[in-house]
Amino acid sequence: MIEIRIAEILRSGEPDESVKVQGWVRTKREQKGFAFIEVNDGSSMAGLQVVVSENVPDYENFLKKVNTGASVEVSGVLVASPAKGQRIELKADSVTVYGEADPETYPLQKKRHSFEFLRTIGHLRSRTNSFGAVFRVRNACATAIHEFFQERGFLWVHTPIITASDCEGAGELFSVTGFNLKDVPRNDKQEVDYTKDFFGKPTYLTVSGQLEAEVMAMAFSNVYTFGPTFRAENSNTSRHLAEFWMVEPEMAFCDLKGDMDLAEAFLKHIFKYVMEKCPEDMEFFNQRIDNTVLATAENIINNQFERITYTEAVKLLEKADVKFEYPVSWGSDLQSEHERYLCEQLFQKPTIVTNYPAKIKAFYMRLDDDEQTVSAMDILAPKIGEIIGGSQREERLDVLERRVIAQGMKPEDLWWYLDLRRFGTVPHAGFGLGFERVVQFMTGMGNIRDVIPFPRAPLSADF
Ligand code: 4AD
Ligand code: MG
């Protein structure tokens, strides 16, 4: 007897093989003298059809208990399926119900539920076809990411989740404290006395592992992080989470061009890998969620991304034959309607916008010779908007110090980061990929809360 996952049985199981499967019941159909049950163990979209005849021990009792949602174990022999719809099915010799699911109260009955409703049952929604497909694709994306970097000799480094610095300087930080909030120590001026807190200073959940990734790149040349990041931005949108996963490669001896080339090859690799590993799930998304996802994947894999400067982008937007809600002018940040116009209407493919005004970008980005712009790059994706943000980093100590001060930060707080420019500085570059945004892009799922198992967003931290 072999224990085997259902995906493997459906792929390569042969008649007469004895198998044991364990999973959850999706449907039950009773016939005279026997019953069909469909068992799913999460390994594939399709479940295994099990035929249980009335000769199987305890049949009557089993039939009563085996409703949608119940957990079962079935042992038996594979037979070629006479019916259309599946190649092979399982003829049960023995059946066990581990846990029943009351048909009156089990929320996932055999009908289509809205994603909004499924969000309210986050502990059960992974048992649906849609979320099964999403989380298998999410897993494949993560594997593709590690494969891409490991094949290229990048070191996976683990950067801290608790930090004292605000990498992006946007002030969107969640505080971390050991204080009892009912009795917070204060100094003579009645300010919170952080010297008495756990770390002796204010600390936060990290918004990005970049600064520490730069430290590691200055020893290992090419590194990447892949971990959770946190932003207390109060954006209730379909593209923002308060807790999301970010992938941040950092490369020594690399400029903006190298950064863009790597980012483009990286996205192509992820799409290729997922198309290869999850064809059934991708087909499902194309049929049920967004009928452009397969074409989009082909487009990503086979075409070069568009590359334009911010200044060119602004000119194109000013000339555009559409009325934007927010006006465009050189110096202001691109709004999502502008980003979408560029990559959806104008170029119809991922678009890399480079050299943004220094004033609207983070302190660490390398100042261009004109001193007006920085060597930044954002990759904009159709329907998603910004999927990657990156830059060449400022490697010149004096310029970096100036930029830190200009952005209202204190050089002494960043002494270790500035030290990297004192001891063996090199041109270097990196970027951050929003992991959930790439899963969204891949699957066509409309809301980012539906591509992470347990979404964290304003007023939402259930499960
Ligand atoms: O553009 P961002 O803020 O860049 C950084 O954090 C840099 N330190 C990255 C680097 O150069 N190493 O964020 C990077 C990406 C964005 O392009 C977006 O895809 C994603 O992270 N992102 C979010 N995803 C979900 N929810 C949010 N609230 C996000 N904020 C950013
Ligand atoms: Mg950004």
Q: Which pLDDT belongs to residue 234?
A: 85
3-class SS of residue 129: helix
Residue 264 CA to ligand 2 centre (angstroms):
16
**Which ligand 1 atom minimizes the distance to the CA of 246?**
21
Q: Which residues line ligand 1 (CB under 6 A)?
A: 167-168, 208, 210, 231, 233, 240-241, 244, 246, 248, 386-391, 430-432, 434, 436-437
C-alpha of 168 from chain center:
20
Ligand 1 pocket test, candidate residues 154, 208, 431, most atoms within 8 A of CB = 208
Q: Which pLDDT belongs to residue 76?
A: 97
pLDDT in tens, the chain (463 residues): 557 899 999 999 999 999 999 999 999 999 999 999 999 999 999 999 999 999 999 999 999 999 999 999 999 999 999 888 889 999 999 999 999 999 999 999 878 899 999 999 999 999 999 999 999 999 999 999 999 999 999 999 999 999 999 888 888 999 999 999 999 999 999 999 999 999 999 999 999 999 999 999 999 999 999 999 999 988 889 999 999 999 999 999 999 999 999 999 999 999 999 999 999 999 999 999 999 999 999 999 999 999 999 999 999 999 999 999 999 999 999 999 999 999 999 999 999 999 999 999 999 999 999 999 999 999 999 999 999 999 999 999 999 999 999 999 999 999 999 999 999 999 999 999 999 999 999 999 999 999 999 999 999 999 9
Residue 361 CA to ligand 2 centre (angstroms):
8
Residue 387 CA to ligand 1 centre (angstroms):
8
Six-digit token string for 137: 């694709």
Close Cβ partners of 445 (under 8 Å, ≥ 6 residues apart): 134, 285, 289, 290, 439, 451
The residue whose C-alpha atom lies closest to atom 29 belonging to ligand 1 is 240
Residue 21 CA to ligand 1 centre (angstroms):
42
Closest ligand, as measured to the CA of 390: 1
Q: Which pLDDT belongs to residue 83?
A: 83
Angle CA 250–256–260, to nearest 5: 80
Closest ligand, as measured to the CA of 170: 1
Residue 354 CA to ligand 2 centre (angstroms):
12
3-class SS of residue 426: coil
Ligand 1 pocket test, candidate residues 205, 206, 244, 392, most atoms within 8 A of CB = 244
Angle, to 10 degrees, between the axis of helix 279-288 and the axis of helix 256-277?
90
Angle CA 244–442–392, to nearest 5: 60
Q: Which pLDDT belongs to residue 104?
A: 94
Residue 113 CA to ligand 1 centre (angstroms):
31
The residue whose C-alpha atom lies closest to atom 18 belonging to ligand 1 is 434
**E strand or H helix that includes residue 419:** helix 415-422
Q: Which pLDDT belongs to residue 244?
A: 98
Q: Which pLDDT belongs to residue 109?
A: 83
H runs (alpha helix) in 375-414: 397-406
3-class SS of residue 174: coil
Close Cβ partners of 185 (under 8 Å, ≥ 6 residues apart): 179, 192, 193, 196, 197
> Within 10 Å of residue 194's Cβ, how many Cβ atoms?
18
Q: Which residue has the tokens 């400067």?
A: 309
Q: Which pLDDT belongs to residue 2?
A: 57
